[in-house]
Amino acid sequence: MENSQKKQVFLFYCAECEDLARQVASQSDHITLQTIKWRTFDDGFPNIFINNAQDLRGQHVAFLASFSSQGLSLNSFL
């Protein structure tokens, strides 16, 4: 039996994966692209900001990360 009430999926992505994220999102009306503000503190530690993060509780969330280089992959997850 097919579930007629599919949950929305919020898809976050790093900058290197933007094209792929758009392609994935175009495959379903249940996928909504979300952005992350990727900054760093003065000491170089990642300072990541997700708009309305509290609204994601209980939701399906996916994240596309890049493993093209060590520096990019670490910043994608921190």
Per-residue pLDDT tens digits for 3-19: 557 789 999 998 889 99
Domain-located, residue 9: no
Q: Which helix (H) or strand (E) holds 10?
A: strand 9-13
pLDDT of 45? 86
- Please state the rounded mean pLDDT for residues 24-37: 93
Q: Could you tell me whether strands 36-40 and 9-13 are parallel, antiparallel, or unpaired per DSSP bridges?
A: unpaired
Per-residue pLDDT tens digits for 31-66: 999 988 888 899 988 888 888 889 899 999 999 987
Structural domain span for residue 34: 14-77
> Domain tally for the chain?
1
Domain-located, residue 71: yes
CB 74 within 8 A of CB 64: no
Tokens of 50: 């997700």
E strands, 14-74, are: 31-34, 36-40, 46-50, 60-64
Domain-located, residue 4: no
Domain-located, residue 42: yes
